[in-house]
Amino acid sequence: MINQKIKLSPHGNFQVTKLLETVAICEAQEDRYNWGNATEDKPAFIVYLGCQKNEVASKIRYLNNALGCYWCEVRQPKYLKDFEVEIKVRDLTRYSTEERNGLDFLLWAENDYDYIELDEYNYYVSDYMPRY
């Protein structure tokens, strides 16, 4: 995992962090755009998925079918500049449930199906590291 901060808004309203070469997350201090996926202890977020133009259709199918995300916008790369396009993904949950896969599943799949420990995942997506 990379966990590289890419951008912090001037007033600290949001922060974009690159989690993998292909995935960045934008976390908002408050959910003013009605992203609807904030929890009690974690902010609302959207995801950027970088890919090549010829991969867009399969990535959108994957986002729709495997992750249940139907609000995707394909655009010129703003944060993941090493790719031809980035897909802006809303309506993703942070953690997978029995009903639906979440950001943890997307990171696992984009990380060549290499397992990511829950504590490591929590650290990368929220800078929280439990003390033992």
Span 5-24, average pLDDT: 88
pLDDT at position 129 over 60: no
Span 100-106, average pLDDT: 90
* Pair 69, 112: CB distance under 8 Å: no
> DSSP string spanning 30-54?
S-TT------SSS--EEEEEEE-GG
Residue 100 burial (C-beta neighbours within 10 Å; 0-12, 13-18, 19+): middle
pLDDT for 63 equals 93
Q: What are phi and psi of 40, to 5 degrees?
A: -55, -40
How do residues 33-89 score in pLDDT, each as one tens digit?
888 888 888 899 999 999 999 999 999 999 999 898 889 999 999 999 999 999 999
pLDDT at position 98 over 70: yes
Query: Vertex 1, ends 127 and 42: CA angle to 5°?
Result: 30
* Pair 1, 24: CB distance under 8 Å: no
How do residues 41-55 score in pLDDT, each as one tens digit?
889 999 999 999 999
Q: What are phi and psi of 117, to 5 degrees?
A: -60, 145
How do residues 106-128 score in pLDDT, each as one tens digit?
998 898 766 666 666 666 565 55
